[in-house]
Amino acid sequence: MRAYPIDSPQAATRLLAMALVADGHLAPCELKTLDRLGASRRLGLSPEGIKSVIDIFCKELMHHQRGVWRGSAGLPIELRTRLLNEVRNPRVRSEVQRMCEAIFQADGQLTEGEADLLEAMACAWRYQPIQGVQTATP
């Protein structure tokens, strides 16, 4: 999968795309949730730009999965973590996480793939020590 600049609107939007297809299908009510939340305004990308990132992600996902559609839940943990780590700004992470949660609630059910993505976000975005600062060892 292509790399986006760290904390770019495209990197953040790709995480929303991961959420949209975490359960293997794209529900219209989930897409409407993006509009209702003002995702375009909140992430600083035009509505067309958001659609483009989602389309590109789905195409890359199909290629990565060798044409067998399993949604984003089928991504290897290492790749999912790399994509999550393209968003480092705590404010943007918080925005993305809230929007992902709203996407997951849109259809009234939390699937295993959606729960897995929320857990991956929690694991990838835990507190990271400041580089260059040594932690004391007991």
Residue 114 belongs to some domain of the structure? yes
Q: Is residue 111 part of a domain?
A: yes
The answer to the question of residue 130 being in a domain is no
pLDDT recorded at residue 130: 44
Is 2 a member of any domain?
Answer: no
Whichever domain contains 94, its CATH number is 1.10.3680
* Distant-in-sequence contacts of 107-115, Cβ < 8 A, 24+ apart: 107/27, 107/29, 107/30, 111/22, 111/23, 112/23, 112/73, 113/22, 113/23, 113/24, 113/71, 113/72, 113/73, 114/19, 114/22, 114/23
What pLDDT, on a 0 to 100 scale, did the predictor assign at position 63?
86
On whether residue 135 sits in a domain, the answer given is no
Task: State pLDDT tens for residues 71-86.
Answer: 788 888 899 999 999 9
pTM value is: 0.86
- Stretches where the chain sits below pLDDT 50 are 128-138
Cβ(19)–Cβ(121) under 8 Å?
A: no
Structural domain count, the chain: 1
Q: Is residue 18 part of a domain?
A: yes
For residue 25, the model assigns a pLDDT of: 83
Residue 132 forms part of a structural domain: no
Task: Please indicate, yes or no, if residue 1 is contained in any of the structural domains.
Answer: no
Domain with 49 in it:
9-124
